[in-house]
A = this chain, B = another copy of it.
Amino acid sequence: MNEKIDDFYYMKEALKEAKKAKDKDEIPIGCVVVKNNIIIGRGHNLVESNNNPLRHAELIAIEDASKKIDNWRFNGCTLYVTLEPCAMCSGALVYSRMDRVVFGAYDYKRGYCGSIESLPTKTELNHKVEILGGVMEKECLLLIQDFFKKLRIRNKAN
């Protein structure tokens, strides 16, 4: 792994965002965008609350950050997210020209940063994003597993 000391600090911040999603009964996924050691964007999954399929944590954090930097180019930025990004969000990493993505848990069924395939490093696309997976994997995965466990119990009771 090519971890940096700061990666743990920022992943903890992404986990704080994920817990906000959990408190709203959303799948607990959280994200922060960092530039020059400053968090410039935050987001957590809000698909159900907002009834909007685009409200993934990553897209919310990118939108938040783009307002802060007043720029659509994220050179020099790292995006931290608790779950491996899906195809849509992996595409967003490319189109926002993000430098680096660091994720916690792997998503073997939907992940496009290595699991199904690796979109941010695709040779055909004109921007490459450095990928690091598995940072604080256990904590990130546990949060999601716990959410689905409780959901199953609740659904059985109804």
How many copies of this kind of chain does the complex include? 2
Structural contact, B51 and A71, CB atoms closer than 8 A = yes
- Name the segment of A9-17, A94-102, A134-142 touching the other chain: A94-102
A–B Cβ pairs within 8 angstroms, 15 of them: A50-B66, A51-B71, A53-B92, A53-B96, A54-B59, A54-B63, A54-B66, A55-B72, A56-B95, A87-B119, A87-B122, A88-B94, A88-B95, A91-B91, A109-B124
A24 at the B interface (CB under 8 A): no
A48 at the B interface (CB under 8 A): yes
Residue among B52, B63, B87 making CB contact with A94, cutoff 8 Å: B87
- In the complex, what residue of chain B is closest to A93 when comparing beta carbons? B88
Cβ–Cβ < 8 Å partners of A63 in chain B:
52, 54
| Bound: A105/B74 CA distance, A | 28
Assuming A50-B72, A54-B92, A110-B125, what are 10 further A-B pairs, CB within 8 angstroms? A48-B72, A52-B63, A54-B66, A87-B87, A87-B91, A87-B122, A88-B89, A88-B95, A91-B91, A109-B126
> Top 8 nearest A-B pairs by Cβ distance?
A88-B91, A87-B91, A53-B96, A53-B72, A52-B66, A88-B92, A53-B95, A116-B124
